[in-house]
Structure 1
Amino acid sequence: MNDWISVVVVFLLLWWWFFLMALPIGVRVVEEPEEGHAPSAPKRPHLWKKALGATIVALLATTLINYIIAADLFSFRDAIENW
């Protein structure tokens, strides 16, 4: 995966995937919400922590995927041809 566009696309897809998986972690709702606020709105969503965690995990996963493709440990072309 020497093409930088492919690396960026894989990273962005993984980042969103990990970020969306992290959103419900540690969410607490306000016991008595103010008028006009949704009762299910989180008290402190900690979005920066979740974005940072998603970035770190996505970087590691992108590096692993890049290594697997560069080392030719798995090839989709071979898998399709042998199917």
Structure 2
Amino acid sequence: MSLISAIAVFFIIWWLVLFAVLPWGAHSPHEGGEEIEPGTVPSAPKRPRMAMKFLATTAIAAVIFAGLYVVVANRIVTLDDIPFLPDFKDTARWRTGE
């Protein structure tokens, strides 16, 4: 896997994990029965703690990416293992023109 591909895959994993982590610990004043300030959306979180969520997202994404990298680098699962995809074993011959 090239460096650019690795960065792109890590970013996609990070982005997906972020949306899973965002709701963790989010409490709105409306849920707690507190008074809502004028001009504030009732569902807005009181203390979003985004820095902690970004750190948690990065740690979780790094673990997922490391597992994916091990699978790809050691060829534990390849495209040929997926039954509904075409056979990719002969692509090297096609690229060289043999």
**TM-score normalised over the length of structure 1:** 0.89
Q: Tell me, which stretches of 5 or more residues in structure 1 are unaligned?
A: none
Counterpart residue identity of residue 23, structure 1: L
Q: Tell me, which stretches of 5 or more residues in structure 2 are unaligned?
A: 89-98
Pick 1 or 2: higher relative contact order, CA cutoff 8 A, min separation 6: 1
User: Taking every aligned residue pair, what percent have the same amino acid on both sides?
Assistant: 34
Mapped to 1, the partners of 2:35 and 2:41 lie a distance apart of: 10
Counterpart residue identity of residue 39, structure 1: P
1:14 matched to 2:13? The reply is yes
Counterpart residue identity of residue 71, structure 1: N
Provide Cα deviations, 1:26-52, integer angstroms capped at 9, x if missing partner.
111112111111111100011111100
Match of 1:61 in 2: 64
**TM-score normalised over the length of structure 2:** 0.76
Mapped to 1, the partners of 2:3 and 2:72 lie a distance apart of: 13
Q: Which structure shows the higher helix fraction?
A: 1
Number of positions where the alignment pairs a residue of Structure 1 with one of Structure 2:
80
| CA RMSD in angstroms, aligned pairs only | 1.3
* Runs of 4 or more above 3 Å deviation: none
